[in-house]
Amino acid sequence: MPKKAAGTPATVLLTAEKVPHTLHQYEVSPDAPNYGALVAEFLGVAPERLFKTLVADVDGRLVVGVVPVTGDLDLKALAQAAGGKRAALADRAVAERSSGYVRGGISPLGQRKRLPTVIDDSAPGLDLMYVSAGRRGLQVSLAPADLIRLTGATVAAIRA
């Protein structure tokens, strides 16, 4: 009997919370230039619906920023939204260790250590948004309100 693939912490959380969601597999190298745009194209979704999850250091504490792949994270705006003064992207190893996920697969959901999360203010206007499901090659679509609720996120203009 074939072994069933185990879910990621993100998909386990969504299932446990009975949140409507859909998983979407894709094949794009995480090292490809314009990674997010390529993933959106592969999935056939508008790139402004696809969000990337970035871990930043805000005044010595880690904070998660979730922004559309069509833009960059405005570190100054993230710091302000998180109640801090300065932000810098966290070192890759620090982000991976804290989240429990690898680069290209960091999800805002089900992180090893729940961090303060800020979601860009473009998300609530969407019916569905796409974020990493916790593994490279796997996205999850869900209602922005569900992502905001499950992460306890602040909503602010944080895209550059």
Q: Residue 4: its pLDDT value, please?
A: 42
pLDDT along the chain (160 residues), means of 10: 64 96 92 89 96 97 97 97 97 95 94 96 98 95 98 97
Q: Residue 6: its pLDDT value, please?
A: 57
As to burial, measured by CB atoms within 10 angstroms (0-12 exposed, 13-18 middle, 19+ buried), residue 143 is middle
Judge whether 2 lies within some domain: no
Judge whether 148 lies within some domain: yes
Q: Residue 5: its pLDDT value, please?
A: 47
Judge whether 4 lies within some domain: no
Q: Residue 35: its pLDDT value, please?
A: 87
Q: Which whole-number Å values give the CA distances from 62 to 29, 55, 75, in the listed order?
A: 26, 7, 12
Q: Which domain range does residue 151 map to?
A: 9-156
Beta strands, E only, the chain: 22-25, 51-58, 61-68, 87-89, 117-120, 129-135, 138-142, 154-156
CB-CB contact of 107 with 53 (8 Å): yes
CB-CB contact of 68 with 120 (8 Å): yes
Here the CATH number for the domain that contains residue 134 is 3.90.960.10
Contact partners, residue 18, CB within 8 Å, separation at least 6: none
Q: Residue 54: its pLDDT value, please?
A: 96
pTM strictly above 0.85: yes
Structural domains in the chain (count):
1
